[in-house]
Amino acid sequence: MRVAVTGATGAIGRSLLDHLAAASDWPLTGLTRSLPPCDLPCDPCGDRIRWIQGDLGSPSDCEALVREQDVIIHLAHTNVPLSSDRDMSSDTLLNLVPTLNLLKAVQAAGHRPHLVYASSGGAVYGRSADRVAFTEDHPCLPVNSYGIQKLAAEHYIRLCAERGYLTATVLRISNAYGWLLSPARNQGFIGIALYQALKGRPVRILGDMENVRDYIHIEDLCAAVRACLEPQRPYDLFNIGTGVGVSVKGVLDVIQGCLGRPLERVAEAHPAAAFLPDWCVLDVSKARRELGWSPAIDLREGVRKMLAARSTCGEPARMG
């Protein structure tokens, strides 16, 4: 099975390529705007990956990527929820148009590959009045441009599946973690908080300390992606999370317990923070039932894994 990954040098992309390289002998292709250096530490993929330098904004680059691929895992996305509303026209050009270029290239290729799309369980559903875990059939009312772009992409992909251009599995993924992340980012709270804590810096808090999210470790996420590479239906949709909600304060308490020392916590104002949902937890029973997949790593174990991995790979994760 020939597998291509967009956004391949992002944190999820590289972790997923490492996972697939270790678990299979499939030919792997990674698309990235800038090629990774050849001397990256902690790189078990080595020369197993064929790298393509390109941009989904280019139709010809899309055509080169999809040619002869059996599976395309579409991870590439620019912007994060806190920044997506600054320029909604630009957000569309940077994210939705490249996805449409990719779908057009798939249609033109004519060999009906399987597309796995990384949507967002944290952004497409919107707010919850009753705090009951979201199921896949829950109404979607995104509260920012990030969620709107993800939801629109889902519908375009569904349309292409219905017309027979491809088969597709959409994964509405909760908040993924598993890497140290640069504080310059405004997405990936656990990775940023742990990085700041390890550097002896105050952990900055954007938004309400009581906001609740569903956090999934990258190993569980990679296993979920692998479980849906061979489609059961022309189009399918799954929540991928843990079904367990943890507040910002709860996350910091877990990190503090794993480190064995108190954390300095500093609240910072951000104009978009007030518009983020205060609660988001995903019901993953459909994925358990139909994919045979279940999350196996709880938050405390996940943070400990990050600390253990730091002894070998201590720098923040690469971003695509």
Alpha-carbon distance values, 232 to 159, 162, 165, 237 (Å): 17, 14, 16, 11
pLDDT at 42: 46
Residue type at 79?
N
Segment 223-260, tens digit of pLDDT: 999 999 999 999 999 999 999 999 999 999 999 999 99
Structural domain total, the chain = 1
d(CA 227, CA 272): 35
Domain presence at residue 252: no
Domain presence at residue 135: yes
Residue type at 196?
Q
Domain presence at residue 261: no
Domain presence at residue 132: yes
pLDDT at 184: 82
Say what the pTM is: 0.94
Segment 155-213, tens digit of pLDDT: 999 999 999 999 999 999 999 999 999 988 878 999 999 999 999 999 999 889 999 99
Domain presence at residue 202: no
Q: Which of 256, 252, 243 is nearest to 215 (CA)?
A: 243
DSSP assignment of 81-121: TTTTTS-HHHHIIIIIHHHHHHHHHHHHH-S--EEEEEEET
Tell me how far apart the terminal alpha carbons of the chain are, to the nearest angstrom. 24
The domain containing residue 162 runs over which residues? Answer: 3-175+216-242+282-295
Domain presence at residue 304: no
Give the 3-state secondary structure of residue 146. Answer: helix
Residue type at 81?
P
Q: Maximum distance among all alpha carbons in the chain?
A: 57
Segment 48-73, tens digit of pLDDT: 899 999 999 999 999 999 999 999 99
Domain presence at residue 97: yes
Q: What is the CATH classification number for the domain harbouring 39?
A: 3.40.50.720
Domain presence at residue 197: no
DSSP assignment of 245-314: EEEHHHHHHHHHHHHTS---EEEE--TTGGGS-SB--B--HHHHHHH-------HHHHHHHHHHHHTT--
pLDDT at 46: 56
